[in-house]
Amino acid sequence: MSKQNVAIVGATGAVGTEFLRVLSKRKFPINQLKLFAHESEAGTKITYEGESLVVEAIKDDSFKGVDIALFSAGGGVSQELAPLAVKSGAIVVDNSSAFRMDEDVPLVVPEVNPEDIKKHKGIIANPNCSTIIMVVVLNPIHKLSRIKRVVASTYQAVSGGGALAMAECIEQAKQYLAGEKVRVERFAHQIAFNLIPHIDVFQENGYTKEEMKMVLETRKILHDPEMRIAATTVRVPVLRSHSESLNIETERPLSVEEIRTALAKAPGVIVEDDPANKIYPMPLFRAERDDVSVGRIRKDLSCENGINLWVSGDQILKGAALNAVQIAEHLI
């Protein structure tokens, strides 16, 4: 692979930091690396492979000479700066929701629809973290028999709300156990020793924006606008890695063994499915792991062509930074 001039927008955030780890781990061929963040963090020094790099604020000519720009700085920032990067000649891989449903922007999970990368016009969108974790597992089943219907329930780690949300969860646990008043700032309610069935804002249809992302993005990635999908997204007091309970209905009956075999061969998927020996996916053991783990594979007793799965994956890695870097690897 030829060496690339790479820029990271949002370099000081959780995903930006993970970008750097993933680029280094996967030995991404970098000629020059530029780091950008909010002007309040300009001047911050970050070490990458032994070299001290200075974080810069973005100017009109910041993307000059950049080949690939990895964005993780929020939808508003992406809408403002991604076109600027493209105009300068860079290809943008954007982690925000700003362009995901744009017809001219590919929405890509490399294990699922890498061919869509070629359709880009300068911007490629990284899907929502819960969507990525789900479609990596849905795709091999969808290839066996079209999936007609999916009911997804997520159990999403507090790190989805950022580093401050993780710190608040830990602090709340200390406060609660000490009998002190629990302070709530980052979430709608106390998250320590609790579950909150509310991620992002509620829509007119009663679903949250996070839930509708899973519906609309999955249809786009799998090129199946008729797939029926319903989601309930729940914040849980886990620090890192999301989990999902998936109920799937296929057009033709599939055996558990047929599904297990397809998943075992699928890229980016690890099958952990031995309940007799207490082996199944758990977020504690998915943290900082690249693959999505699937287990509890069983027939749905309420539906003739139904199957139930339990899935877990690191939403900062495969759900964000790793997926974006994999897209960049396909680009070159």
Q: Is the pLDDT of residue 5 over 80?
A: yes
Give pLDDT, residue 39.
87
- In this prediction, residue 162 carries a pLDDT of 85
Q: CB neighbours of 17 closer than 8 A, spacing ≥ 6?
A: 11
Burial (0-12, 13-18, 19+ Cβ within 10 Å), 31: exposed
Q: Tell me, yes or no, if the two domains 4-126+320-331 and 131-315 fold the same way.
A: no
CATH topology of domain 131-315: Dihydrodipicolinate Reductase; domain 2 (3.30.360)
- In the predicted model, what is the mean pLDDT of residues 113-118? 97
In the predicted structure, residue 71 carries a pLDDT above the cut 90: yes
Q: Are 209 and 203 in contact, with CB atoms under 8 Å apart? A: yes
Extents of the domains making up the chain:
4-126+320-331, 131-315
Residue environment code for 230-255, b if the CB has 16+ CB neighbours within 10 A, otherwise e: ebbbebbbbebbbbbebbbbbeeebe
Query: How much is the average pLDDT of 4-11?
Result: 95
Class of domain 4-126+320-331: alpha beta
Average pLDDT, the chain: 96
**38 pLDDT above the threshold of 90:** no
State the helix-helix crossing angle for 129-144 and 256-265, rounded to 10 degrees. Answer: 120
pLDDT at 200: 95
Residues contacting 234, CB < 8 A, separation 6+? 153, 154, 155, 156, 195, 196, 197, 199
Residue 308: pLDDT band by 50, 70, 90 thresholds? very high
Active site residues: 129, 242
Give the number of other CB atoms < 10 A from CB of residue 209.
14
Mean pLDDT over 292-306 rounds to 96
Sequence letter at residue 14: A
Q: Give the closest residue to 129 by CA, choosing from 151, 162, 103.
A: 162
* pLDDT cut 70: percent of the chain above it: 100
- The mean pLDDT value for 144-170 works out to 95
